[in-house]
Amino acid sequence: MFDKLTGVESRFLEVEKLLSDPAIVQDLGAYQKYSREHSDLNKIVSVFRKYKQTLSELNDSMELLKDKDPDIKEMAREEVNALTLKKERFETDLKKLLLPKDSNDSKNVILEIRAGTGGEEAGLFVSDLFRMYSRYTEGKNWKVEVLSHHATGVGGLKEIVAMIHGKGAYSCFKYESGTHRVQRVPETETQGRIHTSAVTVAVLPEAEDVELHIDPSEIKVDVFRSTGPGGQSVNTTDSAVRLTHLPTGIIVTCQDEKSQLKNKNKGMKVLRARILDRMIREQNEKRSQERRTQIGDGDRSGRIRTYNFPQGRVTDHRIGLTLYKLEQILQGEIDEIIEELVTYYQTQALQNAEPGELH
């Protein structure tokens, strides 16, 4: 691992020279490419250099342990203990920095929330979750763009699909995929009984044109009039669009816009993301469970979180985290949950990484 880090530092110095090359400076594309690489490598190299400095200081202190003066030996012993702890912290940080990066982490996100079991209560909780994610997004200074939604007519949503625009959005949202369960007393419940409902969340990285080519001849396009709750027409023109990807059978419907073209463009964003997501999941199925854990593909079939209103409690079942701050979480304060999930999956990845020690 030390050799690997030395190689990273050598590449960092090489890229640094390239950035001062007049030919590279004049080539905007090349300059931006090397600037991004320099920034990524700098995160590792800066820690590696501190680590090497700590090793040097530790070696010096180890030498002082051989001194005949007891006061110097005692001082050296304290230094050795402190520097050993510092060295171990740097080793942990470096191992995390060297973990394989998820290539989707910096991408925008397609967020899909759908009502599951629970009828109207599930639809109302779709609205609650979308509001929670929207406020979290606003706190990050990112942008939410609703691509399509279907209201229930009682203030809830049967489903909503939105794009989250923001650098690093996928890295924050990717662990939200799964079944979210809610336990609360509905307003229509006269006996005060707690009802349990479920909502499914899917988080897809936005697919870019360069990484996914879709043959236009493989897409069937149907147009129809938009409808609202109860089936009534909300538009007098055939502006709603249904896209069917023939090879996979994936269907996307978009009717939020009055323009057929806008609906088609929004629908294509969702279609591309779903096709890419299916490709990723199929690739992951061919890999070991350890590899899937490292990438964090998320098992959508399982219950991942419960929101219990009577107790004001939120529990993430994957990591055994329980927080008694339901109201704050529903207001978008979900950083604590996300940070705990990131730490958990990083730890899992470190445990599953190939054996090797710094020396």
Lookup: tokens for 1: 């691992």
Q: CA-CA distance, 155 to 125, in Å (whole number)?
A: 10
pLDDT at 162: 92
Nearest to 334 by CA among 158, 138, 181, 148: 138
pLDDT at 286: 58
Lookup: tokens for 24: 């590279």
Task: Give the other-Cβ count within 10 Å of 2's Cβ.
Answer: 15
Nearest to 164 by CA among 125, 129, 203: 203
Element (H, E) at 344: helix 335-352
3-state secondary structure of 47: helix
Options 1.10.10, 1.20.58, 1.20.120, 3.30.1240; which CATH number does 2-97 get? 1.20.58
**Strand 178-184 vs strand 303-308: parallel, antiparallel, or unpaired?**
parallel
Strands (E), the chain: 109-115, 143-151, 157-165, 178-184, 195-205, 219-224, 240-245, 250-254, 303-308, 313-316, 321-323
Lookup: tokens for 299: 């098992």
Longest dimension (CA), the chain: 95
Tens digit of pLDDT at every position of the chain (359 positions) = 778 888 889 999 999 999 999 999 898 888 888 998 898 889 899 999 999 999 999 999 999 888 888 888 899 999 999 999 999 999 888 887 887 777 788 889 999 999 998 888 899 999 999 999 999 999 999 999 998 888 887 778 999 999 999 988 999 999 999 999 999 988 766 677 888 999 999 998 887 654 567 788 888 988 887 666 554 545 556 788 888 998 888 988 888 888 888 888 888 888 888 888 888 777 666 544 433 333 333 333 468 999 999 999 999 999 999 999 999 999 999 999 999 998 888 888 777 665 444 44
pLDDT at 125: 94
pLDDT at 272: 85
User: What residues have CB less than 8 Å from 59, skipping those under 6 apart?
Assistant: none
Q: What's the fold here for domain 109-221+292-346?
A: Alpha-Beta Plaits (3.30.70)
**Strand 313-316 vs strand 195-205: parallel, antiparallel, or unpaired?**
unpaired
Q: CA-CA distance, 254 to 152, in Å (whole number)?
A: 16
**Domain boundaries, given as residue ranges, for the chain:** 2-97, 109-221+292-346
pLDDT at 236: 52
| Range 128-133, long-range pairs (CB < 8 A, 24+ positions) | 128/182, 128/330, 129/180, 129/199, 129/201, 130/157, 130/160, 130/162, 131/330, 131/332, 132/329, 132/330, 132/331, 132/332, 132/334, 133/164, 133/173, 133/176, 133/332
Q: Cα–chain-centroid distance for residue 164?
A: 11
pLDDT at 78: 92
What's the burial of 185, exposed, middle or buried (CB within 10 Å: 0-12/13-18/19+)? middle
Element (H, E) at 125: helix 120-139
How much is the pTM? 0.64
3-state secondary structure of 90: helix
